[in-house]
Amino acid sequence: RSLYQENVKKIEEKYFFRSDADICQGSMVLVLGQYSTGKTSFIKKILKGEAYQGSRIGPEPTTDSFNAVMYNKESLGKEKRRRDGQIVTKLGTDGGDDFSGLAKFGDKFLGSFQVSFTDNSELEDLIVVDTPGIMPGQAECRGYDFLEITRWFAKRSDLVVILFDAHKLVIEEDFLNVIESVVEAVKGNQKKIRLVLNKVDDVATEDLLNVYGQLMWVLATSGKVLLNQVEVRVFVTAFDPKGTDYGPIK
């Protein structure tokens, strides 16, 4: 940041180019997955059991908006723990993080975007973006360009976590399109994509290799250019959504 402030910022100001928000904001993690794959539980794991303001966890589709979860040591009370997309894109956040670029996606999207603040120190230098679960045929009903928005976040993220449910390995075409779009958005830096096979706690050890093989087969035969552009390393996890056991990731 000091190199940027001393050597680059003056040149940007001279030519009316602005990138200080992208340079100075905290690292960003984008979390993607079909519905009920454990995206919100993953974030709860990072927060050591704390649920961010506005989050819901359940077997049915629960997260229906984009939620940027970030640190604010003064986030006391519900009125200070959540800010709507319309306000964030115009006024920014107290930490100086810039989401103004999202305004171009329109009011329909901004009504489905919020920033949730937490005083949890685990996010002191980190922003985690929770996303709506992808369901078949839903893209046309959202009223905004879901693929372009995920590309916007993916380009600015330091890590993209793509979650799969070990018990639901039927991957819908809409979700394959999202993965393909993200891979294209981070072209040249695909190593920041992480594939995570979640909910393996009740999968027998002898069956785990078969489940892994099924996931690789689905991705390889999807007709999308995915596996040859992403480091094929799958992380295996199991999170307790009730928050009763938040030990090390399996």
Mean pLDDT over residues 100-105, rounded?
A: 86
How confident is the model at residue 249, as a pLDDT? Answer: 44
- Examine the pLDDT at 31 and tell me if it is beyond 90: yes
Its pTM surpasses 0.85: no
How confident is the model at residue 152, as a pLDDT? Answer: 94
Q: Which residue has the higher pLDDT, 196 or 125?
A: 196
How confident is the model at residue 13, as a pLDDT? Answer: 64
How confident is the model at residue 154, as a pLDDT? Answer: 94
How confident is the model at residue 198, as a pLDDT? Answer: 92
String of DSSP letters for the chain: -HHIIIIIHHHHHHTT---HHHHHSPEEEEEEEBTTSSHHHHHHHHTTTPPPTT----SS----SEEEEEE-TT--SGGGSEEEHHHHHHH--TT----GGGGGG-HHHHTTEEEEEE--GGGTTEEEEE-PPB-TT-GGGSSS-HHHHHHHHHHH-SEEEEEEETTB----HHHHHHHHHHHHHTTT-GGGEEEEEE--TTS-HHHHHHHHHHHHHHHHTSSSS-GGGS---EEE----TT-S---S--
- Examine the pLDDT at 158 and tell me if it is beyond 50: yes
pLDDT in tens, 170-221: 888 889 899 989 988 988 888 889 999 999 988 888 898 899 889 888 888 8
How confident is the model at residue 60, as a pLDDT? Answer: 53
Burial 115-140 (b: 16+ CB within 10 A, else e): bbbbebeebeebbbbbbbbbeeebbe
pLDDT in tens, 229-240: 666 678 998 876
How confident is the model at residue 246, as a pLDDT? Answer: 42
- Examine the pLDDT at 112 and tell me if it is beyond 50: yes
How confident is the model at residue 197, as a pLDDT? Answer: 93
Mean pLDDT over residues 41-49, rounded?
A: 87
pLDDT in tens, 51-75: 787 676 655 555 578 999 988 877 5
